[in-house]
Amino acid sequence: MSEENKDLGDKAEDAFDKAKEAAKEAAGDAKEAAGDFADEAKKTANEFSDGLNKAVGGGENKKILAGILAIILGSLGVHKFILGYQKEGFILLGVSIAAYILSCLAVGLLFIWIPSLIGLIEGIIYLTKSDEEFYNTYQVGKKPWF
């Protein structure tokens, strides 16, 4: 019987060694697959950021983006942030927030429409200018209002 136990022990050791090797191979395969996935994810992220930079960074696309955002979200000053005018964006955002807070006291109702009207007017101006004129006026010339 002890001979039988030795054979079982040897078989168990062999099975353990085979399982260990299979686990190492599986771990290597998993690392390779994870590396491939990471490379693919980086490639996709780079493509996305390149597309975003083209959409936001280009002259024509920036004009369209800023114009549409000015019309839709003009009271929040989003179009100002897109064009790089942080101070003016915060002014519009601050006036909007103050107007909404003061609207509870009815005083703010007089001021709620002002930032929206500014955004609407600027959006129309942005979209009606030629690409070159928009670029020279708002991106090179840094004209912050109207």
50 has a pLDDT exceeding 70:
no
Confidence of residue 55 (pLDDT cuts 50, 70, 90): very low
For the entire predicted model, the pTM comes to 0.55
Pairwise CA distance, residues 29 & 35, whole Å = 10
DSSP per-residue string spanning 62-116: HHHHHHHHHHHHGGGTHHHHHHT-HHHHHHHHHHHHHHHHHGGGTSGGGTTHHHH
Average confidence (pLDDT) over 133-146: 81
Cβ contact 75:96 at 8 Å = yes
Confidence of residue 128 (pLDDT cuts 50, 70, 90): very high
Average confidence (pLDDT) over 16-40: 71
pLDDT in tens, 64-106: 999 999 999 888 999 999 988 999 999 999 989 988 888 888 7
Q: 119-123, 127-131, 132-136, 137-141 — which is least confidently predicted?
A: 137-141
Average confidence (pLDDT) over 102-128: 87
Pairwise CA distance, residues 17 & 79, whole Å = 65
SS3 call for 133: helix
